[in-house]
Amino acid sequence: MSQLKLACLALLFELSAGLQLLVSRSQSDLLFVSFLLTHLLASAVLASLVLLSLHGRVPGSRRRTWLFIFSLSGFIPVLGMVGVLLGLVCLPLLPAPGSRSRFHSLSLPALDPHEYQQTGAFRQAGLGQFLRNDRAPVEQRLRALVGLQNAPARFSSPLLRDLLSASSEDLRLLAYGMLETREKRLNTEIHTWRLAWQDAGSETARRAAARRLSALYWETIYQELAQGDLRRHAAEESLRFLEASLEDADASLHLRHGRLLHELGRNEAAEAAYRRAIELGLPAPRVNPYLAELAFLRRDFAEVRRLLMSLREYPDQRRLEPVLRFWSEA
């Protein structure tokens, strides 16, 4: 039955109920029952009309909606039906309800085996977040952790140290074993070169051994294998061997000299070493961030801004872009 026919039928029943009261002069119970049944029948037809007009707009149960419209029209004889009819008239003017976005549970994607076969290691992008995700399968996290051994030490060592507190015991043991292997390898090499430094037969060989020892001690700091007092001891030893073999013309050695002095809190000497590295031709982007850090420690914020803004002249500063953006807006 069409909506127009239902509307006419509802109006016909409602008018019939009203005419019974207007035309009849008796006040018998039978007249009241007849009026009530006719009015309720009109309300039922009207509720069916509303339900048909709503189509997919009904958010809940269709039965509850029908009962609500029937009650509204049935228990409020005149105003209820008028309100329902006005609602039907205004319904096309309302915007259609948007489709609800529903969340779906998706399984974690498997790591790309082709990437592993080609390079021997998984890609580093997102690897840290994946390894820290306790909801990820432990087997896949173990595979990713094994692939981490080919990643640069500066990236992988802090991540391995974070995994020492992982919820999975297998991950903790594997991360500890990888860190211990790296530390033992460096300590073995340090021990070998210390013997070579002690047994050097010439000043040239002694200086070469000292330079290598400085680099190895610095590597324990760079890879964050040395922590606490051991880190300070490594910095002191690296500085001692570096100063014994420092060549004035080597800009990279002066940069490491400055970083070691910086690590030990000797800021004025560190700044002099940094500036000497620039004088010897080291590019400013490699030195200015450390000079800016020293300027920040002495609260010279104008110098910090000047040093960092000078890096805008050089391309490929993606890693420093958040810092540059902050100081450009500060």
Q: In the chain, pLDDT over 90 holds for what percent of residues?
A: 17
Mean pLDDT of 158-181: 83
| Ranges 116-130, 166-180, 212-226: which has the least confidence | 116-130
pLDDT tens digits, 26-83: 666 676 677 677 777 777 777 777 777 766 555 556 777 777 777 777 777 667 777 7
Sign of the C-alpha dihedral computed for residues 301, 306, 310 and 312 taken in this order:
positive
pLDDT at 11 exceeding the cut of 80: no
pLDDT at 100 exceeding the cut of 70: no
Q: What span, in angstroms and rounded, lies between the C-alpha atoms of 177 and 172?
A: 9
Q: At what angle do helices 203-222 and 169-198 cross, to 10 degrees?
A: 160
Q: What is the pTM of this model?
A: 0.57
pLDDT at 285 exceeding the cut of 80: yes
CA atoms within 13 A on the CB side of 285: 12
**What pLDDT is stored for residue 121 in this prediction?**
43
Mean pLDDT of 156-164: 80
What confidence tier does 233 reach under pLDDT thresholds 50, 70, 90? very high
CA atoms within 13 A on the CB side of 173: 4
Mean pLDDT of 288-304: 90
What confidence tier does 102 reach under pLDDT thresholds 50, 70, 90? low
Mean pLDDT of 143-150: 76
What confidence tier does 117 reach under pLDDT thresholds 50, 70, 90? very low
Domain extents in the chain: 3-90
Q: Where are the alpha helices (DSSP H) in the chain?
A: 3-23, 29-54, 62-75, 79-90, 113-119, 127-132, 138-147, 153-162, 169-198, 203-222, 229-245, 251-263, 267-279, 284-297, 301-309, 321-329
Mean pLDDT of 223-229: 84
pLDDT tens digits, 234-283: 999 999 999 888 876 788 889 999 999 999 999 999 999 999 999 888 88
**What pLDDT is stored for residue 30 in this prediction?**
72
Q: What span, in angstroms and rounded, lies between the C-alpha atoms of 184 and 248?
A: 33
